[in-house]
A and B are shown apart, each in its own frame.
Chain A
Amino acid sequence: MNRSEPAQEQGPSARPAAATLEFREATKIYPGQDDPAVDALSLTVPAGEICVLVGPSGCGKTTAMRMVNRMIDITSGDILLDGRSVRERRPAELRREIGYAIQQIGLFPHLTVADNIATVPRLLGWPKDRTRARVDQLLELVSLDPADTRDRYPAQLSGGQRQRVGVARALAADPPLMLMDEPFGAIDPINRERLQNEFLRLQKEIRKTVVFVTHDIDEAIKMGDRIAVLQRGGKLAQYAPPAELLMYPNGRFVEDFVGADRALKRLALQRVRDIDLWKAPLVRVGEPVADARRKVQDSDVPYPLLVDADGRPLGWLSERALTGERVTEDLRSKAEPAVELDDVLRDALSDLLANEAQYGPVLDARGAVAGVLSLEIIGHALQEPPEQVRSGADALAADG
């Protein structure tokens, strides 16, 4: 997990794949206003990480983000890209090195998908065949079929497809930094979730430095390696990885903003495979009862779990199954709920509660029992220090 190091060159560009971004007391006061929209913002985004700017409406997230590519002029302070001030760069040149995706997408309606994506490569004077190859590569990267999509106009795409093209266009010239302003804000919840997952998976491959703006704390927790919570007037309230933010909010504002269910939100950052499970007392039909009893004694679970020849759970055994010489198939209850290793703890907890169960078997990818998850284990997980909780992006990317 060396996320702070610049990721290796992936695309066809000769530039490094990720840049370090540093805000130094960056301040914006709009003309004619007394109070700053962004107030002495200082934070550093290590190369290859997703920094989420989150906060209530009007707190200055968009303003902060747009100062980076000089779409908005910096009033005072500075912003450094790989140590170099953006203020000494020519805006148009600077912007060609920074991917830019906005909620309204802003695809060019008069250009085909391919021409939209080729915008920056053409500005940079790439040769034609390199641009064409890059367009197809990007369409595949964002899960669109190049042959089917390439020649369509934006009006001929669904909202989700347009959003994907917007991301592909922003990535076209392999920029070391991406700015994304509520990129999935206008999408229905199901597609938003899909796009979020796709982007995290993509990010695992491309390892860009990303500034991601949202007003949705759940999206922030899911997407961010680090989260900057802004409050009205553009003041930075807290800058921390998601788990730390949820565990140690540094004041009333952040505490209220992350919500009363912040402990539950933390469970969304961890997967079942990340925590220590109970050992399951697995027994098979025909096994000596003495063995079965010993297994139960060695385990935290009070009953043996009957499994088939492949280790798949059949159910919890009753007392009567253990009265004879050998274990019989006499079940007290089915092995429910069955939790999977890749489930996030929040979903697993929800399954346990829905089944009124104290514990349940955990299955691996083949359906065999890998252990037992209990309410008690989840309770322990909540007390784990945040350094040991992986960020949402890592947790999701890990199962790719």
Chain B
Amino acid sequence: MLDLIAQVQIQDRSSGDASCVADNGFCPSWIVDNLNRYTDPLLQHVYLTIVSLAIGFAISFGLALIAHRRRWLVAPITQITGVLYTLPSIAVFFLLLPITGRGNTTAIIALVAYSLLIIFRNIIAGLDNVPAETKDAGRGMGLTDRQLLWRVELPLALPEILAGLRIAATTTVGLATLAFFAGAGGLGERIFEDIVFKSNVVTAGALAVLLAAAFDVVILIVQRAVTPWARARAS
């Protein structure tokens, strides 16, 4: 049976160093020739990650703003998002399949559910770390609660918020490799399509790692650009 599958897959692998490919080895020339096979899965992976992060951030941000002025909500929200965080993603995919069917929606719902806790907790931590005297001075000068939030508290919480987003981004890229279970494609689909062929697994895996690193670096650059004050020290 396995042999049969291998047979089919080898036929799928066009060109390259035939013997290396036949051995399921790591074949650079094959990788170079076949890189374009990974373009669509990669773009799909990027799409899943960005959409999930954007939705996850929007929901977490809304929840954090609500809980920020109603502190008693922090504990229940943390608990609920905590449960979502610990649910195995694959289980969530299968649970959702009968409701939302195969496709992006199911994958994105699962990825969003997973990211909520990380982002929510970091926003709350960032807001909590704003020095009390800074808020007191702001209020004492006549900033309204809303002005205080948008002009003082959120800007000062940015380093923590963006740090949370970085963690959420790398974990989401990782989890999105399982999105094909929900029928949403991505690099994971390529990996599991031919998991015995080293060249394939390494290429798809490396792209996933690079993608995670790219998200991390981009958010870090944004973070540095928008928080110049965080690096300012006595000169």
A residues whose Cβ falls under 8 Å from a Cβ of B: 69, 71, 91-96, 100, 102, 104-111, 119-120, 123, 152-153, 155-158, 166, 169-170, 179
Contact = CB atoms under 8 A, between A and B. Distances in A.
Given A108-B152, A155-B232, A95 B141 contact: yes
B142 A120 contact: yes
Given A71-B139, A110-B155, A119-B138, 12 more contacts: A91-B142, A92-B142, A94-B142, A95-B141, A100-B140, A102-B133, A106-B137, A110-B156, A110-B230, A123-B142, A166-B137, A170-B141
B134 A108 contact: yes
Contact of B232 (A92, A119, A156): A156
A106 B138 contact: yes
B147 interface: yes
B84 to A, nearest CB: 32
Interface string B128-158: 0001011111111111100100001001100
Contact of B133 (A69, A95, A105, A120): A105
Given A110-B155, A156-B232, A92 B143 contact: yes
A165 to B, nearest CB: 11
A156 B235 contact: yes
B229 interface: yes
A195 to B, nearest CB: 18
Nearest to A97: B142
Contacts of A166: 137
Given A106-B136, A110-B156, A156-B235, A96 B229 contact: no
A169 B233 CA distance: 21
B134 A109 contact: yes
B29 interface: no
A105 B155 CA distance: 19
Nearest to A112: B229
Interface size class of B (residues with CB under 8 A): 20 to 34
Contacts of A93: 142
A105 B235 CA distance: 21
A172 to B, nearest CB: 9
A169 B141 contact: yes
Given A71-B136, A100-B137, A156 B233 contact: yes
A131 B141 CA distance: 16
22 contacts: A71-B136, A71-B139, A92-B142, A93-B142, A95-B141, A95-B142, A96-B142, A102-B136, A102-B137, A106-B136, A107-B134, A107-B137, A108-B138, A108-B156, A109-B131, A109-B134, A123-B141, A123-B142, A123-B143, A155-B229, A156-B234, A169-B141
Contact of B229 (A95, A102, A105, A110): A110
A163 to B, nearest CB: 13
A69 B232 contact: no
Contacts of A157: 234
Nearest to B137: A106
A75 B52 CA distance: 50
A68 to B, nearest CB: 11
Nearest to A95: B142
